[in-house]
Amino acid sequence: MLKIFVDRGGTFTDMVAVSNNPAIVDRLSQDAKQFLIVPLPNQQWIILYKLLSENPERYQDAVIQGIRDILGLSVNDPIPTEQIEVVKMGTTVATNALLERKGDRVVLIITKGFKDALRIGYQNRPNIFARQIILPSMLYESVLEVEERYDTNGNELIPVNFAQIRQDLQNIYDTGVRSCAIVFMHSFRYPQHEKQVAQIALDIGFTQVSVSHKVSPLMKLVSRGDTTVVDAYLSPMLRRYVDQVASQLPNVRLMFMKSDGGLVDAHLFQGKDSILSGPAGGIVGAVQTSLRAGFPKIVTFDMGGTSTDVAHFNGEYERQIDNEIAGARMRVPVLSIHTVAAGGGSILFYDGSRFRVGPESAGANPGPACYRKGGPLTVTDANVMLGKIRPNYFPHIFGQKGNLPLDAEIVQYKFTELAQEIQKTPEAIATGFLAIAVDNMANAIKKISLQRGYDVSRYAMCCFGGAGGQVACLIADTLGIKTIFLHPYAGVLSAYGMGLADIRVIKESALEQTLTQDLIPLLQQLRETLEIQARNELNPQEASIGEKVTQKVNLKYQGTDFTLTVDFVEDVAIMRSHFETEHKSRYGFIQSQKSLIVESISVEVIQLMDTPQEALITRTRPLEVLPTPVEMVQIYTNHTWQKTPIYRREHLEPDDCIAGPAIIVEKISTIVVEPNWKARLTEKNHLILQQYS
């Protein structure tokens, strides 16, 4: 049986398969350039594979094509689904639709008098000195106001006019709109009117009806409304993609990664939970593998083809509730991930006076100049120019037939052409562009660490993503980080993370009451109710290895809007102490005289899943015998060309130590060990990079 874990990214689709079928492994072993196969205990193997996310000349969907390639099927062969136990995947489909504003047409149905509430928002001014305020574009195309109202105590002031709302919704339906977002005042506590209007919409034929009391059952009309609109905008498109994949895999269990780091069955996957689906898998993979390697405090660094995602971990997953992603506000728990538009595919610009990197990306099609599709110069091309990416050791998946290496000649030509204009050497220009990219990515890590009171020099950096190993040392040098951890599956760690994730359900309830000891019984009652709701969404037949329940409260000082999350305990003094410790670390002060407000309480129920094991490797060479490089090349680093050995990672053995500069090539990524760094391999096949003291 096959277990398949997938991360469908913007440029590459990464696949990890766990198989106990020797026939599949024997066949794939003959194509060593495309597939990396790692033996596991108990007669199992892990298969690692990468392919372009978009390649319309060769296939329609990368995930299905990847499964066909692993099983050795041609385009028209039926997929033997009885050989596949489960497919767990994360996808950027919804993220890209949000970025490109390609979701479904949506009508916003809101309480009369609040037609413009979401457009007005909170009057935030992120740049206080900006003279021209550019409001985010709204995802809904029209608004229907409904004359209805509850007061804050649940008294019905104005009932719903059923005949009028049915006529209004029918008129909107007749224009071709099939998705609606229903957001009424106080409906997070008193949802009856939302339920009534939702039923009318379903009776008329709306295929997507998102109601705010289910999508985001929290206070604040604007945040709740924004989240509901996002869900209505993305869910239909996401459903079509899920159905497309499921139609090719009948009777196969299909699961998706949510933005909060938990898995969910495909039929429960919603638009609001899908925004960080792919990056969340990377965080789970980074955290779980780092804990196995003995690093409890990490900064994650995931550099892909289109963007770079960073996160902070110190004992538990960090989540945030209020988010703005791709210009859309939403209020759902998501892993605290900071993303910058800097990846291997980020386009290099020269405007006549300065260098600029991104935010535009060449993507997978046409991709960087070296991808043989006529693309522009990118960060990947800069590394090719500097000799840090070697075409001979990069996957041969380019050209019309998908079997050619990177094109270094066009990279040399384009940088030489640019050098004639700028009057600098091609390698100096490539170094300058790379320095800008590194600075952009280092600033992203500062936002989630230094700016929140964490000293990252005491952390290890877990580096992954197809492009992460190329710049890891440069990023660490900029931040003062002394240790870098690279898992053997670092190039596909987001996909591997899908296989390491657990099933998670989070339920929340708004409260907005002062934290006192008298409030504890109500909090306990809410906690029990939320736990029951969460368990109702879990499959009791799931083959889990255990269960875990966590309870959190979101606290804030009275008169403020920003909350901090702490563990729920029955002792108010302990919760206040934890809040003040976090507040002091985050903002540098506390206000002991102020009361604390419990904005909301949440319960998370986790079904712990059986995850793939990791194989141990043994040393066969004597300790004094060093690994032999496969080639000596020249790379441009520290402003000069330096003679540099290339090692294959599979040739390294435990306790091998390699001093930089050096290049370690894998079938799925390239690792550059800069001068003043050394690389050491452990018995778990973990590569640890450390700076010379």
Q: Residues with Cβ < 8 Å from 178, sequence gap 6 or more? A: 104, 105, 205, 206, 207, 208, 236
Q: How far apart are CA 136 and CA 233, in angstroms?
A: 15
At residue 50, the pLDDT reads: 85
Q: Is the dihedral of CA 306, 461, 393, 650 positive or negative?
A: negative
Would you state the structure tokens that stand for residue 593, as one six-digit string?
A: 């005289």
Would you state the structure tokens that stand for residue 101, as one six-digit string?
A: 């504003």
Q: How far apart are CA 192 and CA 682, in angstroms?
A: 60
Q: How far apart are CA 351 and CA 177, in angstroms?
A: 43
* Strand arrangement, sheet containing 35-40: 35-40, 44-52, 12-19, 2-8, 84-91, 253-257, 263-265, 503-514, 596-608, 546-557, 564-567
Would you state the structure tokens that stand for residue 90, as one six-digit string?
A: 């994360």
For residue 348, what are the CA distances in angstroms to 11, 391, 439, 556, 595? 17, 20, 14, 43, 51
Average pLDDT across each block of 10 residues of the chain; the chain has 693 residues. List them in order.
86 87 84 78 85 82 89 85 90 80 92 92 77 80 94 91 94 95 93 95 95 89 92 92 88 90 89 86 92 92 82 87 78 84 86 85 83 90 92 80 84 91 91 92 85 85 86 92 91 88 89 91 93 85 78 92 89 94 88 91 90 84 88 92 92 90 86 93 92 78
Closest CA to 334 of 565, 102, 577, 538: 565
Closest CA to 652 of 620, 614, 615, 689: 620
Sketch the domain layout of the chain as residue ranges. Answer: 2-98+244-273, 100-239, 502-609, 631-691
Closest CA to 143 of 180, 170, 174: 180
At residue 32, the pLDDT reads: 63
Would you state the structure tokens that stand for residue 134, as one six-digit string?
A: 């550019």
Q: Residues with Cβ < 8 Å from 29, sequence gap 6 or more? A: 35, 37
Question: How many other CB atoms are found less than 10 A from the CB of residue 601?
Answer: 22
Same-fold call for 2-98+244-273 versus 502-609 = no
Total-model pTM: 0.84
Q: CA 451 from chain center: how many Å? A: 21
Closest CA to 347 of 381, 315, 314: 381
Closest CA to 615 of 646, 650, 648, 647: 650
User: Cβ distance 305 to 12 under 8 Å?
Assistant: yes
Q: How far apart are CA 576 and CA 566, in angstroms?
A: 9
Q: How far apart are CA 327 and CA 101, in angstroms?
A: 10
Closest CA to 603 of 536, 542, 541, 519: 536
At residue 489, the pLDDT reads: 87
The number of helices, as runs of H, and strands, as runs of E, in the chain is: 16, 33
At residue 279, the pLDDT reads: 84
Topology of domain 502-609 in CATH is Dna Ligase; domain 1 (3.30.1490)
The β-bridge partners of 4 are: 17, 87
Pick the CATH number of 2-98+244-273 from 2.60.120, 3.30.43, 3.90.228, 3.30.420: 3.30.420
Q: How far apart are CA 37 and CA 675, in angstroms?
A: 31
At residue 33, the pLDDT reads: 65
User: Cβ distance 200 to 165 under 8 Å?
Assistant: yes
At residue 428, the pLDDT reads: 93
At residue 164, the pLDDT reads: 94
Closest CA to 337 of 494, 471, 232: 494
Tokens 């997070």: give the residue: 188
Q: How far apart are CA 390 and CA 196, in angstroms?
A: 62
At residue 663, the pLDDT reads: 94
Q: How far apart are CA 141 and CA 197, in angstroms?
A: 19
Would you state the structure tokens that stand for residue 138, as one six-digit string?
A: 């709204």
Q: Residues with Cβ < 8 Å from 305, sequence gap 6 or more? A: 9, 10, 11, 12, 343, 344, 345, 361, 363, 364, 367, 380, 466, 467
The one-letter amino acid code at 246 reads A
Helix or strand or coil: residue 133?
coil
Tokens 């490539």: give the residue: 430
End-to-end CA distance of the chain: 48
Helix or strand or coil: residue 625?
coil
Integer-rounded Cα radius of gyration of the chain: 26
User: Cβ distance 209 to 182 under 8 Å?
Assistant: yes
